[in-house]
Structure 1
Amino acid sequence: MFGIPFIWIVLTALATPQQLNDGVSGLLDLSSPVWSNFIDAVTKVDYLSYGANSLFLSIMTAVLTTFSSATVGFAFARLRAPGKNALFLLVVSTMMIPAMATLIPTYVLFARLGLVGTYWPWVLWGLAGAPFFIFLFRQFFSAVPRELEDAAIMDGAGWIRSYFLVFLPLARPALLTVFLLSFTGAWGDYLAPALLLNMDNTTLAVATTSMYADPRGNPLVPLQSAGAIIYMLPVIIVFLFGQRYFMSSAMGSSVKG
């Protein structure tokens, strides 16, 4: 059952408009697959330009989110401060807030700041970190033996040097996992780019869903499907590259009893 939607979109991408109108029987007719749909999907819109926008936005968001979440998670795990546990509980509790509940306030805030139509909202989101990733890093850094921290301090390293020279190298599985999850999340996001960006600097997600149409405005479904398949390839490649790190990160950041 899991693979049926993917199989369906592949069949749609290889179909003609007539086969699509014929329904299931037309889609299952594989005697003459239309491979040119993939070429038309790339050439009908400025696919490379929108793809570059998505790639830039995804990498920037992933880098900023990973670094900020790791830094905050380290502070919650190793530093001592009054009210730290209450603040951590507050951060974690924000994961229960539905994204749709903050959609309109977020747009109004960025509109008043004059940031609509720019990439600055993603910069601010990245610098703010993500509650789930902060929790993941906090659990990971909490599992690091205290002896390593004491040894670094005895060698004259302060908290900043210990963070960069001791803790971050140990957190490579968690860093890569958070980077990959942040990248795929930003790459697959449709709502935020559709709401906050213009058509000239929007992402491939918006272009794929809205720009394949005939002169009368009717959607070209085979081209949409072909464009969506090409759009999925970077995420699939990223997942295949980093899947072995997910288990090690999950084990390293598991909740301690």
Structure 2
Amino acid sequence: MPASRADMSQAPADRASPPRRRRSAGSVYVLLLALSVIFVGPLVWLLLAALKTREEWAAVPTKVLPEHAQWSNFTHALTDINFPAYALNSLFLATTYATLITLSSAAVGFGFARLRAPGKRALFLVLLSTMMLPQVLTLLPTYVLFSRIGLVNTYWPWVLWGLAASPFLAFLFRQFFAAIPRELEDAAIIDGCGWGRIFFRIFLPLSRPVLITAFLLSFTWSWGDYIAPALLLDVDHTTLSVAITAWYEDPHGNPLPTVQAAAAGLYVLPVLMIFLFAQRYFVRSVVSSGVKG
């Protein structure tokens, strides 16, 4: 039976589609490669700077590769200041803050997703609107408040910030909890469970990908924060981010940029390792927390 005109006209297009798809995939790969170079470039530059001498670092034009790798810069980074103590301060603050803000944000997201109350939508819009406020705008009033109640040079501000929840994380949990079937909640209520047991026994175990993502995000925020520790903590209680930027100096008081670069490389290493091991949870949380009204 002779082929129709529609079939004959469609055949060349079908034969041409695989090369077109290959060209499109190639363009995507080139774009991803370019973005990877852009994002990885600063980290590579940091590691190369950590292996240079001060003369190579200050040379004009700048030498890309060091002539002889200065691994001693990493030794100086660990010994010129009390690196382990400041690292423990950062770890304690970041872990405490991340744990508290993850649990409080999950509770807020659960309330907005599953509980019924008048004005809930308006309150949720107010919560989302606070995401547009830059942190630096509230930093001075926060410092004045903590200073008047005697919390400067203590770790209590991070505890209070953690208990206050995060608008972004609360939104993330709200989207995830809203997608859980209501039959699970109804069955638990019939069995006599209150809202607290429903939250801790049903919803939190189901939200493991979002919990891990929220913890890692908040841990990274606190671990990389410089302004708040510099403003609120003294020399003995401050974090590694402040110590790296302030206290690597030669006997004449001049900064040591190559040692600072080595210390910064050690500083970002834990976050990179955590992300490499937990990146699959980021993908799961994004997929499971899709936008839902």
Q: TM-score range by the shorter chain?
A: over 0.9
Structure 2: distance between partners of 1:117 and 1:56: 15
CA shift digits 1:45-104 (9 cap, x unpaired) = 000000000000000000000000000110111111111111111111100111111111
- Deviation, structure 1 residue 25: 4.6
Identical pairs, percent:
59
Q: How many residues align structurally?
A: 256
1:161 corresponds to which residue? 197
Q: 2:71 aligns with which of 35, 53, 57?
A: 35
CA shift digits 1:154-203 (9 cap, x unpaired) = 11111111111111111001000000001011000011101111011100
1:146 aligns with 2:185: no
Q: 2:254 aligns with which of 207, 213, 218?
A: 218
Q: 1:233 aligns with which of 262, 269, 273?
A: 269
1:16 corresponds to which residue? 53
2:111 corresponds to which residue? 75
2:29 corresponds to which residue? none
1:2 aligns with 2:39: yes
- Deviation, structure 1 residue 4: 2.1
Moved over 6 A (4+): none
SS in 2 for 1:214: coil
- Deviation, structure 1 residue 27: 4.4
2:81 corresponds to which residue? 45
1:65 aligns with 2:105: no
Consecutive unaligned residues of structure 1, counting only runs of 5 or more, are none
1:181 aligns with 2:217: yes
Structure 2: distance between partners of 1:135 and 1:11: 40
1:190 corresponds to which residue? 226
- Deviation, structure 1 residue 24: 4.4
Q: Name which of structure 1's ranges 2-11 and 151-160 shifts more when overlaid on structure 2.
A: 2-11
Q: 2:279 aligns with which of 224, 243, 247?
A: 243
SS in 1 for 2:263: helix
Contact 1:15 1:27 in 2 (8 A): no
CA shift digits 1:119-155 (9 cap, x unpaired) = 0000000000000001111111010001111111111
Residue identity in the other structure for 1:95:
M
Q: 1:85 aligns with which of 121, 142, 147?
A: 121
Residue identity in the other structure for 2:56:
Q
Contact 1:13 1:226 in 2 (8 A): yes
Residue identity in the other structure for 1:19:
E
Structure 1: distance between partners of 2:153 and 2:60: 40
